[in-house]
């Protein structure tokens, strides 16, 4: 099962016009592949979702549905960004016990972001709440109102990329240069395709991510009793059962979520359950180019497949 991040959709795993997608690579390796559209997907109606809702309602339901349709007793998962954080919450709550292997990209239990990105979460996000329910890179080309168009113009001022959507997406999700991908890793057709793959992300997510960044690890909203209040303690309990293996992947140049996020989680897991879990910090990669980079099929996908074996 593949779980996407925020403001995108399952299409990111199989729709890019790259040489080979991760879905094709998995199919060629003999896997029965299912791509989940959870509530953060732009293929679904926009809503003020939280990681908690994805963790409690979406991922466990997707796992149950896949197992019911296939008749398989177990499942393996590849999870990206907020698909990864919310899926980690599901695992820590004991809601997906059938999952035996998890390959996580960018961020999972621990949250490390740049100082400037953290400052933005603390200042600009609260200041925006009276005016916006969220942000959308598509406002650069199809703004619903003058206020949205103004914010989009600000977001599209940065960097030298010729795509307004690309510039806005990078601006909305971090501070400082190429946040979501290194342009040198994308071929021209994938860069053009990518303009249609970004949509609305609610402020409810950014507010929760601020609390996570403040704490340094995942923090629930406290609104759903199914989730543990102490995520690290729940992780320790999960690891003591020794029934799931994690592979953590991070682009060395990722400034959306610093690679320190995955390093900290891997170290935490190793201290409790040594030798079972793996970390790959990949030079020359950032955030989403892990999946849609022009050389990802050669430089990244083999590590993902190894994590599923």
What's the pLDDT at 169?
Answer: 93
Strands 35-36 and 75-80: unpaired
Does residue 164 sit in helix, strand or coil?
Answer: helix
Order the strands of the 99-105 sheet from edge to edge: 35-36, 2-3, 75-80, 99-105, 245-251, 278-282
Q: What is the pLDDT of residues 138-165, one digit of tens each?
A: 999 989 999 989 988 888 886 678 899 9
**pLDDT of 242 over the 70 cut:** yes
Concatenate the DSSP letters of all residues of 91-114 into one string: HHTTS-TTEEEEEEES-SSB----
Question: Residue 32: which H helix or E strand, with range?
Answer: none
Provide the CATH number for the domain around residue 249. Answer: 3.40.50.1820
Q: What is the pLDDT of residues 117-142, one digit of tens each?
A: 999 999 988 999 999 999 999 999 98
How many domains does one find in the chain? 1
pTM for the model stands at 0.96
Where in the sequence is the domain holding 220, given as residue range(s)?
2-308
């Amino acid at each position: 099962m593949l779980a996407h991040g925020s403001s995108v959709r399952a299409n990111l795993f199989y729709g890019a016009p790259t040489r080979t997608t991760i879905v094709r690579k998995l199919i060629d390796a003999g896997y029965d592949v299912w791509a989940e559209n959870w509530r953060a997907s732009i293929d679904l109606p926009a809503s003020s979702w939280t990681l908690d809702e994805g963790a409690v309602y979406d991922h466990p339901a997707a796992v149950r549905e896949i197992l019911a349709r296939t008749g398989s007793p177990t499942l393996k998962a590849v999870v990206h960004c907020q698909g990864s954080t919310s899926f980690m919450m599901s695992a820590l709550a004991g809601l997906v016990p059938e999952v035996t292997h998890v390959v996580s990209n960018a961020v999972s239990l621990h949250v490390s972001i740049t100082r400037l990105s953290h400052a933005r979460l603390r200042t600009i996000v609260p200041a925006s709440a009276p005016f916006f329910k969220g942000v959308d890179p598509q406002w650069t080309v199809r703004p619903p109102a003058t206020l949205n168009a103004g914010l989009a113009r600000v977001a599209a001022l940065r960097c030298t990329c010729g795509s307004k959507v690309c510039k806005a997406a990078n601006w909305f999700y971090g501070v400082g240069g190429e946040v979501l991908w290194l342009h040198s890793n994308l071929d021209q057709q994938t860069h053009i395709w990518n303009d249609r793959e970004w949509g609305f992300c609610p402020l409810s997510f950014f507010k929760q991510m601020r609390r996570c960044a403040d704490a340094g690890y995942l923090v629930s909203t406290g609104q759903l009793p199914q989730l543990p209040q102490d995520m690290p303690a729940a992780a320790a309990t999960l690891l003591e059962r020794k029934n799931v293996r994690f592979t953590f992947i991070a682009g060395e140049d990722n400034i959306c979520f610093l690679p320190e996020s995955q390093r900290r989680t891997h170290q935490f897991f190793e201290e409790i359950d040594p030798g079972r879990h793996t970390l790959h910090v990949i030079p020359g990669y950032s955030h989403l180019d892990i999946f849609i980079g022009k050389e990802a099929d050669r430089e990244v996908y083999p590590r993902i497949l190894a994590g599923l074996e």
